Structures are given as C-alpha cells and as structure tokens.
Amino acid sequence: MIYFPPDKINSEKQVSNVLVTGGAGYIGSHTVRALVEKGHRVTVIDNLYSGHRWAVHPEARFVQCDIADSARVEEVLSEDQIDSVVHFAGHIVVPESVTDPIKYYQNNVVGSLSLLRSCANQNIHQFVFSSSAAVYGNPAEVPVREETMQCPINPYGTTKLVTEWTLRDFAAAVSEFRYIALRYFNVAGAHSSGELGQATPAATHLIKVACQAALGQRPGLSVFGTDYPTPDGTCIRDYIHVQDLAQAHLDALDYLGRGGESAALNCGYGRGFSVNEVVAYVKQASGVDFPVSLSPRRAGDPAELVADNTQIRSLLAWKPEFDNLELICRSAYEWEKNPLNLQSAEQ
C-alpha cells in the first residue's frame, strides 16, 4: 500500500463536482445526502434496478441510465464537468452471485470497466470504489488487515477484487489517476433523520430481515449455520452504521482532493458480533420475541469477518460517530416502520 506524506498534502478541503453511480441505493443515497450537505455539486446515475428515485437528495441531479451506457455516461461527465466519481452501482446479494455468477460479472466487472473507460476518456482522475470485505473470503487472521491474502469464496467477492485489480493497474499506467477502494464490512442502520434507510426490495441483510420479522412482515428469521468455529456457532460480522460509511466516502474524496495516493482500505469498526447477538439486540430494540429457526449454512458465507481499521483512521482521519450496535438496530427498526419504506416494499 502506498502512503502519501502528510506534509505534502494540501490541507484545504475541496468542493467537487461528484458523480455518484448507484446513488439511489441504500449506501449511495446516504452518501449523496452527505455530499450535498457539505456543499459538493452532485450528479447521480442509477438505473433504478434496486434503488429508488425518492431516495436521491432533491439538490442532486438525477440521470436514469446504466453505467454500461458509455455514450450517455460520457455526456453526463462532460455536461456536469465532473472531477470525481464515487462508484456504488453493482449487484450485492452473495447467494445470488453463487447461483447466477454471469449476472454479477456482467454488471460488477464489465459495468465497472465501462465506467472506468468513460472516466479515462473524460480525463477524470479521482475515483472512490465501493468494494467489500468479501475480497478476503475466509481470512486466515482476524481482525483482517488490508495486507491479508485476498481469496474470495463467492463470485460477488471475486467481482469486487477484479475491479480493485483493474483500478490498481490503471493507476499504475496513468500517473494522474488515483483511487480509494473502501472494503466495507457489514453495513446496517438508517439515517438519524429517519428519512433514509435500507429500502432495497428483497434485501437479505440480517438486521433488516430481523426488524421485518419483529414487525410481522416476515413469519420469522432463519439463522443460516450454527456449527461455525465461533463461540456460539453462528457467523461473526463487523457491523458499521451507514452514516459512518457515507462519511468515509467524503473523507476519501477530501484525501484524494488534497493529493493523496491510491489505497484499498478496510471500513469497519474493528469488533464483531455473532448472528445470535444481533438477533438479541433487535429483539431488545423492538420489544418483540419473534420466531427464529435454524437452517443449514448458506453457500459463500465465511465464519468471521472483523476489520482492522487502523489504516483508514490514520490515512483518511476517519472518525466514526455511530459505533453502537444497539443504536444501529434501533435506527433500522424505526426505519422499517417508516411509511416511505413500507410504500417502497409494496412497489
């Protein structure tokens, strides 16, 4: 990993013309809101495959198209004088990637390559990529460091790693191009305003599913695998609040705008909770003892993923504000009751 000497980085924050792909989705919409509130000029491209038009901040320009539509993407990049790109657009359901890998390679890899070529054609040299801890597979060490061997165990993780490799090689070939790849751990929770949250149709995120079970929107919750080599036999994950993750993207843009060099960084809190512990927190937040059934392991699920977040804290000066699983579960539960979310679920 390359580090840029702090004394050579311009300390002034830059206001950018930012393109956000997938900006109508869960994490994208939170990041768009944060960017607008910080004074950036934001354009959103989203094909609305899993995002929602209402989730895009009204002060952001919205363009409905696919990132693989290179002609339209380049028009937008030129029209809005884009200088930075934050790339979220991609499929994210791990079990689906196992059963339909071609869909994931086509969208996540080929689509990202098309977007990167569009950026190259328009001389855009700052890029923040939505990567994943899935690049590590079943890591040999926990907490996971950025230098830990990347050996994904599902097509979703492989598509993220291939895109990281592409960014790395492009940055080596084009000296002006610099990127940050943020390797997300498990994202959860909803915006503190109550106006944004996880509204993706048929989402498989544990905390969302548990909240829906608490509200009777599902008959109950299935725990996939109780024989993992963990203290209670269920998977352990590092859960990060979506607003802290959004802030990491702003910090990444600030860093690149000050001349920072390319890097791939873990984005998590550095401590993990088991599936059983998460279920207990959601039951506490909701006051509902919803049914829980035990099911076999799902394909592609590693036993434990917890971040070593030393590098993102030092390089980007990232300071999370919502590192509290009870708060995360409570915000997610309140969002599930939000009429806007309920209306989205019916569409």
For 189-212, write each residue's pLDDT tens digit.
Answer: 999 999 999 997 677 889 999 999
Check whether residue 134 and residue 148 sit in a common domain: yes
86 CA to centre of own chain: 11
Chain segment 279-306, per-residue pLDDT in tens? 999 999 999 999 999 999 987 788 899 9
Same domain, 116 and 212: no
- Answer yes or no: is pLDDT of 40 > 70: yes
The H-or-E segment that residue 143 falls in is none
Residue type, 117: R
DSSP state of 141: S
138 and 168, same domain (yes or no): yes
Domain boundary among 228, 252, 267: 267
Burial of residue 169, with CB atoms counted within 10 A of its CB: 0-12 exposed, 13-18 middle, 19 or more buried = exposed
Grade residue 78 by pLDDT with cuts at 50, 70 and 90.
Answer: very high
Q: How many CB atoms lie within 10 A of CB 143?
A: 20
- pLDDT exceeding 90 applies to what percent of the chain? 87
From the list 289, 240, 243, the residue with the least C-alpha distance to 266 is 240
Amino acid 253: pLDDT: 97
Q: Which residues pair with 263 in a beta bridge?
A: 180
Segment 219-228, tens digit of pLDDT = 999 999 999 9
CATH number for position 287: 3.90.25.10
* Domain total of the chain: 2
Which ranges in the chain belong to alpha helices (H)? 26-37, 70-79, 94-99, 101-104, 111-121, 155-173, 206-214, 242-257, 275-286, 310-315, 325-336, 339-346
Same domain, 309 and 262: no
CATH number at residue 88: 3.40.50.720
Q: Are 68 and 146 contained in the same domain?
A: yes
* 52-78 average pLDDT score: 97
Domain co-membership, 227 together with 260? no
| pLDDT band for position 322 (cuts 50, 70, 90) | very high
- What letter would DSSP give residue 334? H
Q: Which domain holds residue 184?
A: 16-188+241-267
pLDDT at 249 over 60: yes
Are both 103 and 116 inside the same structural domain?
yes
Pair (292, 308) in one structural domain = yes
Tell whether 23 and 166 lie within a shared domain. Answer: yes
pTM of the model: 0.92
If asked whether residues 78 and 107 sit together in one domain, one would say yes
Residue 156 annotated among the catalytic residues of the structure: yes
Q: How is residue 39 written in tokens? A: 């004074």
Q: Is residue 115's pLDDT more than 50?
A: yes
Q: Is residue 177 part of a domain?
A: yes
Does some domain include residue 197?
Answer: no
DSSP SS3 for 255: helix
**Catalytic entry in 26, 104, 156, 184:** 156
| 2 in a structural domain | no
DSSP assignment letter at 306: -
Q: Are 155 and 101 in contact (CB under 8 A)?
A: yes
